A and B are shown apart, each in its own frame.
Chain A
């Protein structure tokens, strides 16, 4: 197993190099001269030149690339171009609010989706099953934007069950007062696609031979589903959750924008609008690294859970 992990880590190097090259290509090449943006509309050449020197963009490309690589490995991306805040500080302070929303969403959403998927798989082929499938198709075709706008208006503004938006420095106040509406919203909207996916995992397992054997032994349908099918279907389900884990840190940027949550997602949107490249560069590279590590962990866990999968 150690050999497997080592080999996978070794294979990560070219991918990481690719990510760094891609980000460098986008922001240092395609992005144009940042000094012209930063210096403002009427800038004298001396100011522009000064900013260029400060940012290091007057250097040849290979020097800039070296600087970028050094930044990645020293965790020091310098300061934000627009707020002058340290990039590491930006990321560390914005991650808390994002996770306050997204961790409950992940836990509650996945639990509910698995629960409902088992129920729907139990009544598969019936009218209920078809009705649920039609309902999810319809629910998935409405834009997330529409859901947010309507929910925020209805439950926040009209009915006043929750504050329309807001955030404090206190974690528990946030969780009890400001987080519930975005969490409920994200859980409900995420339910339809997850339910469909997990249902298909269950149906796939139901065609397996061991299910027929379990039935032949005379087990009840509930027991077959909960003891046999659920356990086996959890493998693809957990893989799926693993895939979405890195997205947790970006959070649902739309939720953060609408509910004024000072999280990472809103920060990235702001950075895109302000052309604040250091923040986007840092988040992109680190999330890519995190994704690769999560993929490795999922693969290892997959092999630990399922002895049929060999370490190759």
Chain B
């Protein structure tokens, strides 16, 4: 890690060389780069997103629903002793299958089909057949149907991360649009937006989600819609305050003086100055929505039956734990905990990097 003095020197040297001072984002990125926790978190988040994208493109975990192992196959690292006897029996089965090929008694003179055996054997040999056995153990264990828990966890990340990202994007867009309108225009527009805000916040959040869930059909799009349409209030509050603060500033009035339209002033001039608020809010909402999706899916209000998410995995794990099958619980719970911790730490670091005064 470089010392602050050296960095300040670097900045000065660079500023002198290019005759241009670095912008907010460049400075923030430099501050973030110095934060080791933030960099590790960023790497973890990037890894999760990369795995999720690979799964989405079908590069990994494409056959997550294949029954590759025995029912409740234990994790490989946990149950080394189970492996040996199973392998032995598999070998015995293979030997039994191979045996009939050798014909001990020659009855070809009375067998009317004798002339065709050679042809059939040749045709049979042309068909490639592989004897497959359900694996006795799987890298991270198997579920009730012998599906690989590791692949399920990867496939489940698709739903959880997609819901987290898209719903957070929707919430931030709705909140920012309403907040910008309320803060910039004031007056009647503000009254209407405040009314919306009061209505939505007077219903306890979880009840609001359930009320939406009750009337909408189940599905991935529905969860995103529900979380986005109920989660915008916090963003709205902050964005409204930002727009009230900024709309009176000199640079906005200067923009007005040179003939910038309302639209241009709202979105070209003020919006970039509030982008850091939106970014931090977005990141916080991703965490919140990933957690919410897991609970909604667990309750059966989330993804439909044919899909897997960390919430449905936990729902299965609840019954499995009683019989000592802990791996699905650990896999889904751990995957979510690591992702949520990384995003939370990254959010804190981003907030510090974007607004050093807050520290």
Measuring CB to CB, which residues of chain A are less than 8 angstroms from any residue of chain B?
14-15, 18-19, 21-23, 26-27, 30-32, 137-138, 140-146, 149-150, 153, 157, 246-247, 250, 253-254, 257, 268-269, 271-273, 275, 277, 280, 283-284, 287-288, 291-292, 295
Is B202 a contact partner of A26 (Cβ separation < 8 A)? Answer: no
Contact of A145 among B196, B216, B298, B322 (CB under 8 A): B298
Measured between beta carbons, the chain A residues less than 8 angstroms from B203 are 19, 22, 284, 287-288, 291
Is A141 a contact partner of B199 (Cβ separation < 8 A)? Answer: no
B162 at the interface (CB under 8 A from A): no
The 4 closest A-B CB pairs, nearest first, are A18-B199, A31-B215, A141-B340, A141-B341
Is B340 a contact partner of A15 (Cβ separation < 8 A)? Answer: no
Is B344 a contact partner of A140 (Cβ separation < 8 A)? Answer: yes
Measured between beta carbons, the chain A residues less than 8 angstroms from B12 are none
B337 at the interface (CB under 8 A from A): yes
With A145-B295, A288-B203, A291-B203: A30-B337 Cβ-Cβ less than 8 Å: no
Is B329 a contact partner of A26 (Cβ separation < 8 A)? Answer: no
Q: Please tell me the number of chain B residues within 8 Å of chain A, measured between CB atoms.
A: 41
Measured between beta carbons, the chain A residues less than 8 angstroms from B301 are 272-273
Is A250 a contact partner of B204 (Cβ separation < 8 A)? Answer: yes
Measured between beta carbons, the chain B residues less than 8 angstroms from A277 are 214-215
B207 at the interface (CB under 8 A from A): yes
Q: What is the bound-complex CA distance between A269 and B299, given in angstroms?
A: 8
Is A271 a contact partner of B214 (Cβ separation < 8 A)? Answer: yes
Is A18 a contact partner of B195 (Cβ separation < 8 A)? Answer: yes
Q: What is the bound-complex CA distance between A31 and B217, given in angstroms?
A: 9
With A145-B314, A149-B317, A149-B321: A15-B195 Cβ-Cβ less than 8 Å: yes
Contact of B206 among A22, A27, A247, A288 (CB under 8 A): A247
Is B207 a contact partner of A142 (Cβ separation < 8 A)? Answer: no
Is B210 a contact partner of A145 (Cβ separation < 8 A)? Answer: no
Extra contacts, 9 of them, besides A144-B295, A247-B204 (Cβ < 8 A), are A26-B212, A141-B341, A143-B291, A143-B295, A149-B318, A250-B207, A254-B295, A287-B203, A287-B204
Q: What is the bound-complex CA distance between A250 and B314, given in angstroms?
A: 23
Measured between beta carbons, the chain A residues less than 8 angstroms from B261 are none
Q: What is the bound-complex CA distance between A141 and B288, given in angstroms?
A: 10
Is A153 a contact partner of B321 (Cβ separation < 8 A)? Answer: yes
Closest approach, in angstroms, between the C-beta of B283 and any C-beta of chain A?
14
Is B344 a contact partner of A141 (Cβ separation < 8 A)? Answer: yes
Measured between beta carbons, the chain A residues less than 8 angstroms from B310 are 143
**Pairs across A and B, CB under 8 Å, 17 listed:** A14-B198, A19-B199, A21-B199, A137-B341, A137-B345, A141-B341, A143-B310, A146-B333, A149-B321, A149-B329, A150-B329, A157-B322, A269-B299, A272-B210, A280-B211, A284-B211, A287-B207
B136 at the interface (CB under 8 A from A): no
Contact of A31 among B207, B214, B311, B321 (CB under 8 A): B214
Q: What is the bound-complex CA distance between A291 and B199, given in angstroms?
A: 11
Q: B269-308: contact bitstring with A at CB < 8 Å (1 yes, 0 no)?
A: 0000000000000000000000100110011110000000
Is B204 a contact partner of A143 (Cβ separation < 8 A)? Answer: no
Q: What is the bound-complex CA distance between A269 and B211, given in angstroms?
A: 10
Closest approach, in angstroms, between the C-beta of B164 and any C-beta of chain A?
13
Q: What is the bound-complex CA distance between A18 and B317, given in angstroms?
A: 41
B336 at the interface (CB under 8 A from A): yes
Residues of B187-228 contacting chain A, CB below 8 A: 195-196, 198-200, 202-204, 206-208, 210-216
Closest to A244 in B: B204
Most A Cβ at <10 Å: residue of B203, B298, B314, B318: B203
Most A Cβ at <10 Å: residue of B208, B215, B317, B336: B215
Is B204 a contact partner of A246 (Cβ separation < 8 A)? Answer: yes
Is A280 a contact partner of B214 (Cβ separation < 8 A)? Answer: yes
Contact of A269 among B208, B210, B318, B344 (CB under 8 A): B210
Closest approach, in angstroms, between the C-beta of B210 and any C-beta of chain A?
5
Is A291 a contact partner of B210 (Cβ separation < 8 A)? Answer: no
Measured between beta carbons, the chain A residues less than 8 angstroms from B338 are 141
With A19-B203, A137-B341, A253-B206: A26-B211 Cβ-Cβ less than 8 Å: yes
Closest approach, in angstroms, between the C-beta of A260 and any C-beta of chain B?
13
Closest approach, in angstroms, between the C-beta of A65 and any C-beta of chain B?
16
Closest approach, in angstroms, between the C-beta of B117 and any C-beta of chain A?
56
Contact of B314 among A149, A246, A272, A291 (CB under 8 A): A149
Q: What is the bound-complex CA distance between A18 and B191, given in angstroms?
A: 13
Q: What is the bound-complex CA distance between A254 and B209, given in angstroms?
A: 14
Measured between beta carbons, the chain B residues less than 8 angstroms from A140 are 340, 344
Is B337 a contact partner of A141 (Cβ separation < 8 A)? Answer: yes
Closest approach, in angstroms, between the C-beta of B222 and any C-beta of chain A?
11
Is B337 a contact partner of A142 (Cβ separation < 8 A)? Answer: yes
Contact of A275 among B208, B211, B214, B341 (CB under 8 A): B214
Closest approach, in angstroms, between the C-beta of B36 and any C-beta of chain A?
14
Contact of A268 among B195, B210, B216 (CB under 8 A): B210
Residues of B30-57 contacting chain A, CB below 8 A: none
Is B211 a contact partner of A23 (Cβ separation < 8 A)? Answer: yes
Measured between beta carbons, the chain B residues less than 8 angstroms from A14 are 195, 198
Closest approach, in angstroms, between the C-beta of B203 and any C-beta of chain A?
5
Measured between beta carbons, the chain A residues less than 8 angstroms from B196 are 18
With A30-B216, A143-B314, A149-B318: A18-B198 Cβ-Cβ less than 8 Å: yes
Closest to B196 in A: A18
With A15-B195, A141-B340, A142-B337: A30-B215 Cβ-Cβ less than 8 Å: yes
Measured between beta carbons, the chain B residues less than 8 angstroms from A149 are 314, 317-318, 321, 329
Measured between beta carbons, the chain B residues less than 8 angstroms from A250 are 204, 206-207
Is B340 a contact partner of A273 (Cβ separation < 8 A)? Answer: no
Residues of B321-352 contacting chain A, CB below 8 A: 321-322, 329, 333, 336-338, 340-341, 344-345
Measured between beta carbons, the chain B residues less than 8 angstroms from A31 are 214-215
Closest to B348 in A: A137
Most B Cβ at <10 Å: residue of A273, A275, A288: A288
Measured between beta carbons, the chain B residues less than 8 angstroms from A30 are 215-216
Is B202 a contact partner of A292 (Cβ separation < 8 A)? Answer: yes
Measured between beta carbons, the chain B residues less than 8 angstroms from A143 are 291, 294-295, 310, 314, 333, 336-337
